[in-house]
Chains A and B, each alone.
Chain A
Amino acid sequence: MDAGTANDVSRRRLLDALLSGGILAFLGSVVYPVVRYLTPPKVHEVVATSVVAATVPELKPNSGKIFRFGSRPGILIRLPSGEFRAFSAVCTHLQCTVQYRSDMERIWCPCHNGQYDLAGKNVAGPPPSPLEAYDVMLKGQDVVVSRRA
């Protein structure tokens, strides 16, 4: 047995070294995803409940803008008086996306000529119910829209 011992020892050392290396590599392949996972992603959290819809100077009085709210479109309007209001932009008739008509001072749906007044109430055409209203808050120059509690 002695003749093979030296070989055995070197083979054992090699195996040990390879094994250590392999285990290190394995640990690395575990640690790497964990570290990446724990690093905060760019979008910090999913907030379906509030969004910056526009900046104050962006919207002139008597104009409107469509923005993404959660997974649905919303419409932000600025009244002639300067006040901001926001509603769901999904028409309550057949779910087309509404738009703001400054000539009518109404929210208008191009699909079947439905009209909502500036409080979101359905006032003309097919829509059977008002647009869902959202809360609007001004944070500095940002217009923040959030779902009503």
Chain B
Amino acid sequence: MSSPAAPSSRLLAWLDERLGIGEVITFLRHKTVPKGGHEVWYYFGGVSLFLFGIQVATGLLLLFYYKPGADSSYESVQFIVTRVPFGWLIRSLHSWSANLMVFAVFVHMFSVYFMKAYRPPRELTWMTGMVLLGLTMTFGFSGYLLPWNTLAFFATKVGTDISGLLPVVGPAVARLLRGGDEVSGATLTRFFGFHVAMLPAAFTAVLAVHLLLIQRQGMSEPLRAKTDSSKEGMPFFPGFILRDAILWLGVLALLLVLCTFLPWELGVKADPFSSAPAGIRPEWYFTFMSQTFKYLPAKIFGIDGDVVGICTFLIGGLILFFVSFLDRRAGRGERSPLFTLFGVLVILFMLTMVTLAYVKPY
């Protein structure tokens, strides 16, 4: 690492005297990552974190020029994209990175799921992770409306309508989200508050817990890899960290290419009085839900089809959330093919619905 008596170690000594960071450094030096051929999946958590960092940075920058309001949202985004130097870049980075982050978080969640890393003692890590997934999607949903263009406006309408289908609390939730009975300027203000204040605070808090738990407990080893426990783990620092850095730089390069060649569209300013464009749907990470609703019959066993749909999603979500407690076999260290199958089915279902939404968007 650093050569002795270098300025950096003097600085570290100074800080250590005051903050006791020596312990942290020792801990980091000892931290290892299990080797077993599954390392590649371990990176997705870090990528998600990196992308979250990009979101925070670009989001902060956008705040300098963005003006929320039905009369100024669209115009201010247009201003950023056309008049502010590198505004186009910051904006496109924010939009692309948001999508990549959602993707990364999903991959992270599923890879953890299939490696059964949710089993005890990592229940809290898993649950905080699920909360972070929900918060990420909420970030996406609230942020999507902020440019106030036609697609965003109607996608929000569809989305809040779906939330209104929740049994008992549905209409109240929808009203709370919308700030009224319709999507309007009030919704915009509300979503802005969610997106730049409430959600970042909640996300940071839960993320801190999530990361702390990981540091305390170390990385979980997949059940199958137990046989290779004789192999030494890869040291977190510098091995894993440098690999993380290389990967993160690669992701950044990818983002830059995307922003330059496929810049994010401005769209047409939202007009609440116009009719919805044909085939309107929310962003891709919600389409598995919205597309499902298109296929549900009006009534299933006498209950409203849509309500059955949303309850099914709710139940599926709860199963995933509490899987640490439900999967007893994994908890005992045994294989649990049932839960693996459940995960595979969920992925297949989501992929099918998303594909249909884009191939057959009536």
Contacts and interface: CB of A to CB of B under 8 A. Distances in A.
**Do the two chains belong together in a single complex?**
yes
Nearest to A9: B3
A39 B85 contact: yes
A46 B61 contact: no
Interface stretch (B76-84, B111-119, B127-135, B153-161): B76-84
A38 B75 CA distance: 18
A70 B90 CA distance: 25
Contacts of B72: 46
B150 to A, nearest CB: 17
Given A37-B90, A48-B75, A43 B61 contact: no
Nearest to A38: B64
Contact of B76 (A34, A36, A46, A49): A46
B83 A36 contact: no
B85 A41 contact: yes
A83 interface: no
Contacts of B78: 46
B245 to A, nearest CB: 10
Nearest to A42: B83
Contact of B86 (A36, A45, A46, A48): A36
B263 to A, nearest CB: 15
B140 interface: no
A33 interface: yes
Nearest to B62: A37
Interface in B263-278: none
Contacts of B86: 33-34, 36-37
B87 interface: yes
Give the interface residue-count category, chain A.
Answer: 10 to 19
Given A37-B61, A38-B64, A46 B75 contact: yes
Contacts of A37: 61, 64, 84-87, 89-90
Contact of B85 (A36, A43, A48): A36
A72 B262 CA distance: 30
A45 B76 CA distance: 8
In terms of DSSP, what is the predominant structure of the interface of chain B? Answer: helix
B87 to A, nearest CB: 6
A51 B243 CA distance: 55
A33 B92 CA distance: 14
B83 A43 contact: yes
Contact of B61 (A26, A34, A41): A34
Interface residues of B, number: 16
A140 to B, nearest CB: 27
B120 to A, nearest CB: 41
A35 to B, nearest CB: 9
A45 B79 contact: yes
Interface in A13-48: 26, 33-34, 36-39, 41, 43, 45-46, 48
Contact of A38 (B61, B76, B249): B61
Contacts of A43: 83
A48 B64 CA distance: 19
A135 to B, nearest CB: 16
Contacts of A45: 76, 79
Nearest to B245: A23
A48 B281 CA distance: 30
A39 B76 CA distance: 16
Interface string B242-270: 00000001000000000000000000000
Interface string B122-164: 0000000000000000000000000000000000000000000
A33 B76 contact: no
A37 B64 CA distance: 9
Contacts of B89: 33, 37
Nearest to A39: B85
A33 B76 CA distance: 19
Contacts of A41: 83-85
Contacts of A49: 71
Interface in A97-111: none
29 contacts: A26-B249, A33-B85, A33-B86, A33-B89, A34-B61, A34-B86, A36-B85, A37-B61, A37-B64, A37-B84, A37-B85, A37-B86, A37-B87, A37-B90, A38-B61, A38-B64, A39-B85, A41-B83, A43-B83, A45-B76, A45-B79, A46-B72, A46-B75, A46-B76, A46-B78, A46-B79, A46-B83, A48-B71, A48-B75
Given A33-B90, A34-B86, A37-B86, 9 more contacts: A33-B85, A33-B89, A37-B61, A37-B90, A39-B85, A41-B85, A46-B78, A46-B83, A49-B71
Interface of B: 61, 64, 71-72, 75-76, 78-79, 83-87, 89-90, 249
